[in-house]
Structure 1
């Protein structure tokens, strides 16, 4: 058993375009936008796309020539911990992504756990949390999101807008909110939303790719495959997944804009189990040797910095953009930064 698993970084095809800032993070000289605007982290989830590619989205362990999913299946208790494995089975029950949007994503919704069981026979919905990094201004517009229905929006009215493909009408049915670096927003299953252009963020979520879309073409003109619109449940039932309950903009910000909690001088909790049981995200800022001690498996993503990470017989150099998986059995790792480092630690459910 390896104490530290170094993962490759998997880019995933999406209907929207972006990804230049992910290239830049990896210090690519030819950074550019494309239909690969997401990088999936510690992933055991396969992407749902119109032309499925076997294994697309799954994290890979180059040293062992296998996916993280296969490694966990071969070593469940050592990797996940006996209690977690008995509760959730052969899954980390979490997925993490980098998302960089050149264009606005289509208006969409994800199922909550209840609806995921009913419509997709899944124990996991797709509640998610966004933590914003440095974005970019696109066509004089700053990074922004669309979130929650405005007052008076009903199922019948919103479906009518969909049937007419009244894009402006659907956009106007949601609150448009400008976002800034270090904003953290919780998106519960059922909440209508869209990430706007110019956003660069880390997303932590339940481990599925179920997305209901209400636009038949992306803003840049790509026709969206029918199955990617309703995910196989049909054009009528898909409207059952939206939460039409009205919340004022101030109520949305109060409930869903999450304030980080300082744990130590070097570590803060961006979102934790006191907010939601589904996942936890920590941020570590260090300039000197640091011992990371946890009693659960987790993923590590290097946002900034360079150095060495080691535990037992495992030792790796790290630099920005790289990702690692720390199994349950590895209670302690040592991080030795050569230059100041900003690191995210990503955890599954409670």
Structure 2
């Protein structure tokens, strides 16, 4: 019988990473290692999430899908994606600025990489004073104008910059230029893809002294030059009620502030649900199993698990993600 699943963290060393993720997850890493990402739920070929709780502990995502099929994913999701888990769920610690970048859409990614495209969204878990990010162009532009700004060293003038505070949410469709700035701790929901085209990397070098690879021509083909929208989502959170943050063909994400106890009935979704804890502590009870979901962790509720009970100590802030 399926039950709420937790997974071992998959920590990623990044030049721009920091120490917040291993500290919050109580994982030891070497002093000189900078952790930028935790793949909290992943079906990527070389980064398979592995169950950490219950009778299925040790099973990876592909094994789960091959065994449980629609009971895990939902009938419509399994029919569409088969054994490919369709989402990548991350937490990101930007101790330094990420590169200015863009992601391809499904058609471009299929042709060039035999992969899904990469539409994503960000929820700012925490932001240090002065933190910000880039989302979209500062004005509608063109290939030629972009090249002029890029070659003259003025590319950042063409970027739309935003200051950030906890709770800010941005929707980043494929083709939108973007970058997470230093000082942000972010929950990211995205299509299953690890394809990123770097446009500008602030002339940084890796630990071997080499400049990081840029993908100028690929990025030029992928960018939406008319996208001067901020992508910032306006919403009002409510106690113990799910409030939609973003909904597209790839995923729906709600925010749920749990201040007491909440009963959720997911039987009509025909989809798995991922719960991401972005603040506080929460207990999840379902299918005769109870798990503790700590801050910066995620749990997968299989599609066959219809009813879930959520309870917080003082309070907890969750993101609900499904297809």
Scaled to the shorter chain, the TM-score interval is 0.7 to 0.9
> Hey, what does 2:135 align to over in structure 1?
147
Root-mean-square deviation (CA, aligned residues, Å) is: 2.8
Deviations 1:206-264 (A, max 9, x none): 110110012366646653554xx33xxxx5344211112263xxxx24xx2112366x6
Q: Of the candidates 224, 232, 235, which is equivalent to residue 243 of structure 1? A: 224
Q: Secondary structure at the match of 1:239?
A: helix
Cα displacement (A) at 1:98 = 1.0
Q: Sort the Cα spacing of 1:169 and 1:304 in 2 relative to 1 into closer, same or farther, 3 A.
A: same
> Hey, what does 2:240 align to over in structure 1?
266
Q: Of the candidates 297, 302, 305, which is equivalent to residue 327 of structure 1? A: 302
Contact 1:131-1:185 within 8 A present in 2 as well: yes
Cα displacement (A) at 1:66 = 2.0
TM-score by length of 2: 0.85
Range that drifts further, 197-206 or 150-159: 150-159
Deviations 1:279-320 (A, max 9, x none): 122222223332222132111222333353222232223333
Deviations 1:27-73 (A, max 9, x none): 67999784321111221125xxxxxxxx33x3210342121232112
TM-score by length of 1: 0.79
Higher-strand-fraction structure: 2
Q: Of the candidates 87, 105, 110, which is equivalent to residue 112 of structure 1? A: 105
How many positions carry a matched residue from both structures? 315
Given the alignment of the two structures, is residue 336 of structure 1 paired with residue 321 of structure 2, yes or no? no
Within 2, Cα distance between the matches of 1:152 and 1:205? Answer: 25
> Hey, what does 1:65 align to over in structure 2?
58
Deviations 1:103-154 (A, max 9, x none): 11111110122322332233x21111111122113xxxx1111232344743
Contact 2:98-2:182 within 8 A present in 1 as well: yes
Write out the 4+ residue segments of structure 1 that deviate beyond 6 Å after TM superposition. Answer: 28-33
Q: Secondary structure at the match of 2:111?
A: helix
Q: Sort the Cα spacing of 1:265 and 1:238 in 2 relative to 1 into closer, same or farther, 3 A.
A: closer
Q: Sort the Cα spacing of 1:93 and 1:198 in 2 relative to 1 into closer, same or farther, 3 A.
A: same
Given the alignment of the two structures, is residue 134 of structure 1 paired with residue 115 of structure 2, yes or no? no
Contact 1:268-1:283 within 8 A present in 2 as well: yes
Within 1, Cα distance between the matches of 2:166 and 2:84? Answer: 31
Contact 2:10-2:39 within 8 A present in 1 as well: yes
Q: Of the candidates 172, 182, 199, which is equivalent to residue 184 of structure 2? A: 199
